[in-house]
A and B are shown apart, each in its own frame.
Chain A
Amino acid sequence: MLEELRFPFDSDMIMLSKKKLLRKLKESESGGIPLRIAVFGGSTTSDIVKVLELFLRDRGIIPTFWESEYNMYFNDAVFPSEELISFKPELAFIHTSYRNIEETPDVLESENSVGEKLSREYSRFERMWDSISEKFGCPIIQNNFELPPQRLLGNREAGCSYGMVDFITRLNERLYGYAKTHKGFYIHDINYLAASYGLYKWHEERHWHMYKYALSVDAIPTFAYSLSKIICSVLGRNKKVIALDLDNTLWGGVIGDDGQAGIEIGNETSVGQSFLRLQKYLKEFKKLGVLLTVCSKNDPENALEGLNHPDGVLRPEDFACIKANWDEKWRNLEETARELNLLPESIVFVDDNPAERAIVRAQLPEVTVLDFDTPEECIMAIDGCGFFETTNLSEDDSRRAEMYRENAERAALEKQFASYEDFLASLEMRAQITDFEPVHIPRITQLTNKSNQFNLTTKRFTQEEMERTAKSPEYIRLCGRLTDKFGDNGIVSVVIGKTDGEKLHMELWLMSCRVLKRKMEYAMLNELVDSAKKRGIKEIFGYYLPTKKNGMVKELYGEFGFEKVSEDENQTVWKLDVEGFEPIETQIKVNEGE
């Protein structure tokens, strides 16, 4: 990630140097997820798009844009041009603002009449969304409406049926209603953004009159960053772990020196309250599927003593992993990533000590490090960075922390068995390995786009592409769900092969690292070969496309019994003769009823 784009960034610098920053990003890039974004603008969008591109590239997304002609957003959405159709948008962004409200209420207008205006205004938008969904089937991001800077009726603008504040509030509610009932429709909350930026600063009238920007040019980086959070989240680019220091981060004072009675946490003092507020805030992240870990220079028993303070709320069991020792923190973070089977780039490191932050930045640049001094600032830093932006919350997400704890229990159990096979058998594993069901497509897409390590081709799919693949008779598709006596791991593996006569070419083979070494990959292979046989396939071709991250599966097809056909720096090709294949034994019961 580019230093210059790190939150909280210098907006003026970004606006000044955006060309140079784009060049720097392109120079340091190594692949990324391509994404075609259609921008339907009710006002000027050109610099918004340019700055958005910076933030997206910084997070590994390579966008190409189509922009509607100035203020033609409605026509372009409802009657798309050939150009837009052939662009095949994978994401639609509707950039409208209060200035695009065509019918505003008049002073003393009757409640009924205002209500009709509101309905007409809303219908216009609904028609666009429906049209985009129908024609392109892609996710839609829609700005809500921000408040105008001036209020003719003053405070009465709110709570009076012909007041503009009232009108905008009700219009926004209608937008939210649509969002609640439509998957893949996301509100970009510029009402919040404008308020937090400062409404007067946000509405730079000169920039509207001169350039038709609906917001101050100075606010564009803030706007674009906020928008990029939604896009990154939709594409599964969120971070997964908050690694926390303890002393003076989660409580005031040093537990090793001050003892449990000496640290400040809880409602007794104002300082204690601010740390308690932070602990409560962090605890909520567990519900979003974000893992909390500890990374602290402390004796382990002292760390536990601090976390068991009666007035605190974060407890040792809230953490997926606790590293309390005197090693370098970056080594502990590496270790944490390894234990959780995640990449260091999934981690956000939170430490009040600037020196520790600097060392981690230098030694482990993949880890994101937040800057703050006080607990209040810490909350703002986590809240503002947007690395945990929630767009699609699945049941798997809310269970994630639990799943990792179950993994820890499995690890403890493993030690009690004489052989690894005995251990696997004791897990009582059951798998459902089936074709893609429509209800599973979001999870399949999410898993596909965030798996980096156990991923043979690292091919990425938008939800729409995945839906198309799911319907096409050309493909053999399998998704695998693994359950054991400790719990349900959810969908953990996805396999897609394209048929070509009697050949099958594997376009995708991936698995969540949460279930490494459970022989789930063999269960998937057995099912694949079985499906292939039923389709009259004679040969299966496997492809390994190396990346920086997927070294662990370099020889996977070899382990499967494929023979190597060719190998160069871009890919290794493997081949399996279906007739000669003997199913590989696993300790997993596959598709044996629910």
Chain B
Amino acid sequence: MGREVVRKRLTEVFRDVFDDDSIVLTDNTTANDIEAWDSLEHISLISAVEKEFRMRFTMKEVSGMKNVGEMISIVAERAKK
């Protein structure tokens, strides 16, 4: 799956989870750029991304992802639909 397709769908997931339609994702976006993105919301976010792309992150990936760009790479490689 292409990175831009993933980014577009990922943006929708972020907007739903954080209830904020102004969110725009770049590869460099991190939790510091989105006010509501704390460790607790991270859980909902990961779950929602897994649902959207019908895939699962490994535990290592969840704790290791540094920015949205890395998330897009993992999803682009493994997304089921």
Residue positions of A touching B, CB distance < 8 A = 12, 15-20, 23, 46-47, 206-207, 209-211, 213, 217-218
Q: Which of A18, A20, A209 contacts B44 (CB 8 A)?
A: A18
Residue positions of B touching A, CB distance < 8 A = 13, 16-19, 36, 40, 43-44, 47-48, 51, 56, 59, 62-63
Q: Which of B36, B43, B59 contacts A47 (CB 8 A)?
A: B43
Contact present for A16 and B17 (CB under 8 Å): yes
CA–CA, A103 and B37, complex, Å: 37
Measured between beta carbons, the chain B residues less than 8 angstroms from A206 are 56, 59
Measured between beta carbons, the chain B residues less than 8 angstroms from A213 are 43
Measured between beta carbons, the chain A residues less than 8 angstroms from B56 are 206
Shortest C-beta distance, B72 to chain A (Å), equals 19
Q: Indicate whether A19 sits within 8 Å of B17 (C-beta atoms), given known contacts A206-B59, A210-B59, A210-B63.
A: yes
Shortest C-beta distance, A438 to chain B (Å), equals 43
Shortest C-beta distance, A137 to chain B (Å), equals 31
Q: Which of B13, B36, B40, B43 contacts A16 (CB 8 A)?
A: B13
Contact present for A16 and B19 (CB under 8 Å): no
Task: Name which of A16, A19, A218 has the most chain B CB atoms within 10 A of its CB.
Answer: A16
Contact present for B19 and A19 (CB under 8 Å): yes
Contact present for A15 and B63 (CB under 8 Å): no
Shortest C-beta distance, B51 to chain A (Å), equals 5
Task: Kindly list 10 other residue pairs between chains A and B, CB separation below 8 angstroms, not including A12-B48, A16-B17, A16-B44.
Answer: A12-B51, A15-B44, A15-B47, A16-B48, A17-B16, A19-B18, A46-B40, A210-B59, A211-B43, A217-B44
Shortest C-beta distance, B20 to chain A (Å), equals 8
Measured between beta carbons, the chain B residues less than 8 angstroms from A20 are 16, 19
CA–CA, A24 and B51, complex, Å: 23
CA–CA, A12 and B48, complex, Å: 8
Complex A-B: 28 CB contacts under 8 Å: A12-B48, A12-B51, A15-B44, A15-B47, A15-B48, A16-B13, A16-B44, A16-B51, A17-B16, A17-B19, A18-B44, A19-B18, A20-B16, A23-B19, A47-B43, A47-B44, A206-B59, A207-B43, A209-B59, A210-B43, A210-B59, A210-B62, A210-B63, A211-B43, A213-B43, A217-B43, A217-B44, A217-B47
CA–CA, A47 and B47, complex, Å: 12
Measured between beta carbons, the chain A residues less than 8 angstroms from B62 are 210
Measured between beta carbons, the chain B residues less than 8 angstroms from A18 are 44
Measured between beta carbons, the chain A residues less than 8 angstroms from B44 are 15-16, 18, 47, 217
CA–CA, A209 and B48, complex, Å: 18
CA–CA, A210 and B42, complex, Å: 11
Write the chain B residue with the least CB distance to A218. Answer: B47
Measured between beta carbons, the chain A residues less than 8 angstroms from B16 are 16-17, 20
Measured between beta carbons, the chain B residues less than 8 angstroms from A47 are 40, 43-44
Measured between beta carbons, the chain B residues less than 8 angstroms from A217 are 43-44, 47
Shortest C-beta distance, A25 to chain B (Å), equals 12
CA–CA, A385 and B34, complex, Å: 37
CA–CA, A19 and B18, complex, Å: 7
CA–CA, A209 and B44, complex, Å: 15
Write the chain A residue with the least CB distance to B52. Answer: A16
Measured between beta carbons, the chain A residues less than 8 angstroms from B18 are 19
CA–CA, A209 and B58, complex, Å: 11
CA–CA, A467 and B36, complex, Å: 41
CA–CA, A23 and B19, complex, Å: 9
Measured between beta carbons, the chain B residues less than 8 angstroms from A209 are 59
Measured between beta carbons, the chain B residues less than 8 angstroms from A16 are 13, 16-17, 44, 48, 51
Shortest C-beta distance, A471 to chain B (Å), equals 41
Measured between beta carbons, the chain A residues less than 8 angstroms from B36 are 19
CA–CA, A12 and B44, complex, Å: 10
Shortest C-beta distance, A225 to chain B (Å), equals 17
CA–CA, A360 and B34, complex, Å: 43
Shortest C-beta distance, A279 to chain B (Å), equals 40
Shortest C-beta distance, B59 to chain A (Å), equals 6
Shortest C-beta distance, A41 to chain B (Å), equals 13
CA–CA, A486 and B59, complex, Å: 68
Write the chain B residue with the least CB distance to A21. Answer: B19
Measured between beta carbons, the chain B residues less than 8 angstroms from A218 are 47
CA–CA, A18 and B40, complex, Å: 13
Shortest C-beta distance, A209 to chain B (Å), equals 6
Write the chain A residue with the least CB distance to B58. Answer: A206
CA–CA, A179 and B79, complex, Å: 48
Measured between beta carbons, the chain A residues less than 8 angstroms from B47 are 15, 217-218
Shortest C-beta distance, B64 to chain A (Å), equals 12
CA–CA, A12 and B43, complex, Å: 13
CA–CA, A19 and B47, complex, Å: 15
CA–CA, A210 and B45, complex, Å: 14
Measured between beta carbons, the chain A residues less than 8 angstroms from B13 are 16
Measured between beta carbons, the chain A residues less than 8 angstroms from B51 are 12, 16
Shortest C-beta distance, A347 to chain B (Å), equals 33
Shortest C-beta distance, B13 to chain A (Å), equals 7
Write the chain B residue with the least CB distance to A209. Answer: B59
CA–CA, A16 and B46, complex, Å: 10
Task: Name which of A213, A217, A218 has the most chain B CB atoms within 10 A of its CB.
Answer: A217
Measured between beta carbons, the chain A residues less than 8 angstroms from B19 are 17, 19-20, 23
